A and B are shown apart, each in its own frame.
Chain A
Amino acid sequence: MKHGISIGFIISLISLPNYAADSDAVSLGNALNSVGQAKVDNITSGSGSSFELTAGEKDKRVSLKWGISSPQSVFTTVFSVPADSDGNTDLANLDGLAKYNKVTLNYKRTLFAKPTVSLIDLKTSCEKIQNELNLKTDEGCALNDLIAKYDDNPEVLKQLLEINSKAWGKTPTIFWGGTATYGSKKMDYLDENTFKKNDETKYGWSISGYIGLFETLDSVWALELKREESYKDADNDIKCPPNSTNDFVSCISGSIGTPIKESKNIISLHYRKSFKSFSISPSINFDDKSDEFGVDIPVFLFTSSDKQFVGGINLGWTTLDDDFTFGIFVGKAFSFF
């Protein structure tokens, strides 16, 4: 088992409204990620710890993470608070705890398939190709380096992909896990009779399970089921109580009435795919309680100097108010896991 601590920091800057992708430390997106850098929010963060700030029009969070892992499993704890807690959020991932202070426990396990041939056969096949290409064979077989180097040589690429396929076995690499989240939020509202300001601390929770598969080399599928209970603000309104002492009327605005309890059963399907010139990480989310439906499609178009996708456009849509959103984001790295 290993454990460690590292500090990473990221700021995602979204210049247009309603960016909703990958921003919640609890989501499946969370579980898919690894640690130690600024990619905390994916389905299962890795071990180690990190600090992260994400900022969007609808969701900004600061999180602190700690984890412990063995070769094929990882357990993480993420504490996170919203950097901006105003208003309701209608994120395309349908997350009702997006504006809560919360702690999330996450366990993930990856199941690697056995290779279909012996390791010495794989090594010999790789060595044969290295010899044909006049490459050194005394530095081991770095299969993915060869695949990247010869991706414009169909004949060599075909042989390399065949070795890679045998190395990873007949069945795809599968990962599964679960998360549990508990959180609180101080909610302000106006009393519906007296219109006096009130506040109340409300608590919410969620549990989820997910399963996914890696398609080597460049895509990931994942399915998540989540049960969630949370509170949302009542509808906003402006009230102008009658005033008999002068001609002017003072008005107050805010949520009228106590927060409303919401229960959700969310089913999410996630896909991550990297192409040569862009990457995508769409998700489809459905709440079986409210029949609410959300689609979130981040498209990564811009790369950093080390060829990592770090920015692009985000399209989102929810059936709630038929809300279609469009955003541009930078500084948020594309991640499979």
Chain B
Amino acid sequence: MTTKFIKFEFKSSDIDQYSLIIQKSNDDDFHEEMVSNPHTFSLESDVEYVYMLRVVGNSGDKCELVISGASKARTPVKRKINAGQNSDTYLDLLIA
């Protein structure tokens, strides 16, 4: 098993309260959470993971999640809290 260091960096001038958790797609026993910003996870190389970003804030607040070091990941992920809502939830897969 090869370990890869995948860095998650959350950028926002609006939002400061958020949660990012990551699990292996085929093993939900693996469960880690972002506790600092930026945060580097040690993940198994070439394994698929699913992560969820939850943010709370005000309508119109924007943020950006930058993922680096992964074999395959959508980045940057740009999110905005919709009008009339106080939160945003985003799920996606990545391959370490």
Contact = CB atoms under 8 A, between A and B. Distances in A.
Interface of A: 1-2, 4, 6, 33-37, 39, 46-48, 67, 69-74, 108, 110, 112, 114-115, 118-120, 122-123, 126, 139-145, 147-148, 164, 167-168, 173, 175, 214, 216-220, 272, 274-276, 279, 303, 306-309, 333-337
Interface in B1-46: 10, 12-23, 25-26, 28, 34-37, 39
B83 A118 contact: no
Contact of B13 (A35, A120, A147): A35
A37 B14 contact: yes
Nearest to A139: B74
A337 B89 contact: no
A5 B57 CA distance: 19
Nearest to A5: B13
Contact of A141 (B17, B22, B92): B92
Interface residues of B, number: 47
Given A122-B91, A276-B84, A308-B83, A2 B37 contact: yes
A110 B16 CA distance: 10
B13 A143 contact: no
Contacts of B88: 142-144
A115 B52 contact: yes
Contact of B57 (A34, A67, A126): A34
A6 B16 contact: no
Contact of B19 (A112, A144, A216, A307): A112
Given A35-B16, A144-B81, A274 B54 contact: no
A70 B35 contact: yes
Contacts of B20: 71
A151 B93 CA distance: 26
Contact of B14 (A36, A67, A112, A274): A36
A148 B21 contact: no
B27 to A, nearest CB: 9
B91 A119 contact: yes
A142 B18 CA distance: 15
Contacts of A37: 13-14
12 contacts: A36-B13, A46-B16, A46-B57, A47-B16, A71-B18, A74-B16, A119-B91, A120-B26, A139-B74, A142-B79, A164-B89, A175-B56
